[in-house]
Amino acid sequence: MKNFLLLCISLLVLNCSDRDRSNPLDPTNPVTGGAPIGLSIQSNRDTITIKWNGMAINDLESYRIYRGIGNNEPILFDEVSAGSTDYKDTGVITDSVHQYTIQAVTTFSESEHSKAQTIIPGLINFWVADMSMYSGRLTRVSYDGAHMLDYENFLTLSAVVFNPQTRTAWIADIWAERLYELHTNMSVKKEIHLSSQPVDMAIDTTGERLFTLLMNENSVHQLSFDGYLHESILLPTTVSRHCRLAYDDITSSLWISNYEESLVYRYKLDNSFDSLITFTGVQDPRDIVPDPFEGGCWIATKAGITLIVNDGSISVYKDSLDIKDISLNAVNGDCYYVGKNSNTSQWETGRLIKQESMQDEIILGNDYPYLHSIQVVPGQGPRGFLVSQAYAWKLLRFDHQWKKIGTMTGFNAILDFALE
């Protein structure tokens, strides 16, 4: 009889122990660890949104939000109802690390803190168009380059631009032969059918004009934002997928580069007698960026960075580098670049400083090889940037002190960027 009682007591204790561990607030619970789970975080300009999985607890009264900024440990910041599974923080400090944890509160106890999540908010987002042949993914990425806001798949993308006046993005899809205007949630606002395949596009926000460079037709189409064709400009060259297009609003000109033929064209939209000018000897031109201060354009080439100014004169910088991509700081005119030294095979990321007569500053060396696409964050002084890294399939985000602050995987090397 005594042994039987001991057995019953042992089974009762064991059952209670198992029941305790199934409690979401039990620190030994193998799923929750005694804390809210599923915490995720996003920043959209000046707002941070955190989400978590709700806890099935009968006497749950609330969730406490803990926040820490910079190097400070999270402290109690706010409290929300038991039915809440998300929270928006609109009192953020841009360019500062924000850390969050969540705690569940019941009638008689408090849970462990959730695993902390960190993010750096800022006043821009990135649009990233994958330009590889076999991927048509468009991704909207947070300021710190570490969190995906939205994504959508298309056929094969060739360009993305953002219109700050309408707060919409335009993309070109080669094989669909279409231009799309998208809301920031990536829903389609407008769809424009084209007569051929668009390899690049540019936008004139002041004149509300779209320009698209068409393969097969070897032409540039000028359209209104509603898709009406105003002009078709025939080009004296064969347009391939590697050709690029840019709009120079200082001189009201189009710039077109042809990689295969090592040619650059400037087409003046004022119908002057010398409306089309050809520049030869620009070796394997890749990306082409208009100068927002003086007109003209910057060109990434296999033999350095080429600058063509309004009078047609040409300057070349970093001629020992095979430049993969460039990005111009629209606030101070600095030119950021990624490239590989043709003599030493060393990789290099740097900037040409406009206010110091294009003095070169090397930012990253061979510790970060295979960088191919770059987008600078505009502003005064040294600035942060987003880059793609081939073979690692990554996006890397660096701040203005060249510290890496964000990484995302699953991206090809050849990308097009736009700033929101």
The single-letter code of the amino acid at 131 is M
| Residue where a domain terminates, one of 119, 152, 181 | 119
Are both 276 and 232 inside the same structural domain?
yes
pLDDT at 306: 98
Has residue 383 got a pLDDT over 80? Answer: yes
104 and 164 housed in the same domain:
no
pLDDT of residue 273: 53
- Could you tell me the CATH number of the domain that includes residue 313? 2.130.10.10
Domain boundary residue, one of 119, 136, 167: 119
* Mean pLDDT, residues 324-353: 97
Instruction: Pull the structure tokens for residue 177.
Output: 């032969």
Average of per-residue pLDDT values in the chain: 92
Tell me: do 214 and 281 sit in the same domain.
yes
Mean pLDDT of 46-59: 94
pLDDT band at 272 (very low <50, low <70, confident <90, very high): low
- 3-state DSSP call for residue 18? helix
Confidence (pLDDT) at 414: 86
Are 306 and 299 within 8 A, CB to CB? yes
Kindly report the backbone phi and psi dihedral angles of residue 55, in degrees, each rounded to the nearest multiple of 5, phi listed first: -105, 130
Tens digit of pLDDT for each residue in 144-184? 999 999 999 998 999 999 999 999 999 999 999 999 999 99
Determine how β-strand 371-376 pairs with β-strand 359-364: unpaired
Confidence of residue 25 (pLDDT cuts 50, 70, 90): confident
Confidence at residue 13, expressed as pLDDT on a 0 to 100 scale: 41
Q: Mean of the pLDDT values across residues 320-333? A: 97
Residue 310 has pLDDT above 50, yes or no: yes
3 — pLDDT class (breaks 50, 70, 90)? low
Query: What's the sign of the alpha-carbon dihedral 44, 49, 50, 51?
Result: negative
Examine the domain organization and report whether 45 and 174 are in the same domain: no
Strand partners, 47: 44
pLDDT of 14 over the 60 cut: no
State the pLDDT at residue 323. 98
- Does some domain include residue 87? yes
Question: What confidence tens digit (pLDDT) does each residue in 217-243 have?
Answer: 999 999 999 999 999 999 999 999 999
Contacts for 337 with CB less than 8 Å, ≥ 6 apart: 300, 305, 318, 321, 323, 325, 326, 327, 349, 350, 351, 352, 374
The tokens for 59 are 């006497």
Boundaries of domain holding 212 = 126-419
| Mean pLDDT value across residues 365-374 | 96
Let me know if residue 346 belongs to a domain.
yes
Q: What single string gives the DSSP state of each residue in 224-249?
A: ETT--EEEEEE-SS---TT-EEEEET
Secondary structure of residue 20 in the 3-state scheme: helix
On whether both 217 and 325 belong to a single domain, the answer is yes
Share of the chain above pLDDT 90, in %: 85
Q: Which pLDDT value is given to residue 95?
A: 95
pTM of the model: 0.90
Query: Is the pLDDT confidence value at 20 over 80?
Result: no
Rounded percentage of the chain residues whose pLDDT exceeds 70: 94
Q: What is the Cα–Cα distance from 392 to 386, expressed in whole angstroms?
A: 15
Beta carbons of 120 and 95 less than 8 angstroms apart: yes
| 198 within domain boundaries | yes
Looking at the fold, whether 74 and 188 belong to one and the same domain comes out as no
Evaluate whether residue 11 is within a structural domain: no
Domain count along the chain: 2
> Taking a C-beta distance cutoff of 8 angstroms, is the pair 159, 201 a contact?
yes
- pLDDT band for 4, please (50, 70, 90 cuts): very low
- Checking if the pLDDT of 7 tops 50, the result is no
Identify the CATH number of the domain in which residue 56 sits.
2.60.40.10
Q: Which pair of structure tokens corresponds to residue 98?
A: 């924000």
How many C-beta atoms surround the C-beta of residue 187 within 10 A? Answer: 9
d(CA 214, CA 239): 7
Is 382 among the domain residues?
Answer: yes
Amino acid 132: pLDDT: 77
Where residue 205 falls among pLDDT bands split at 50, 70, 90?
confident
- Do 65 and 195 lie in one domain? The reply is no
Task: Give residue-wise pLDDT tens across range 82-104.
Answer: 999 999 999 999 999 999 999 99
Residues 282 and 165 in one domain: yes
Say what the pLDDT of residue 274 is: 65
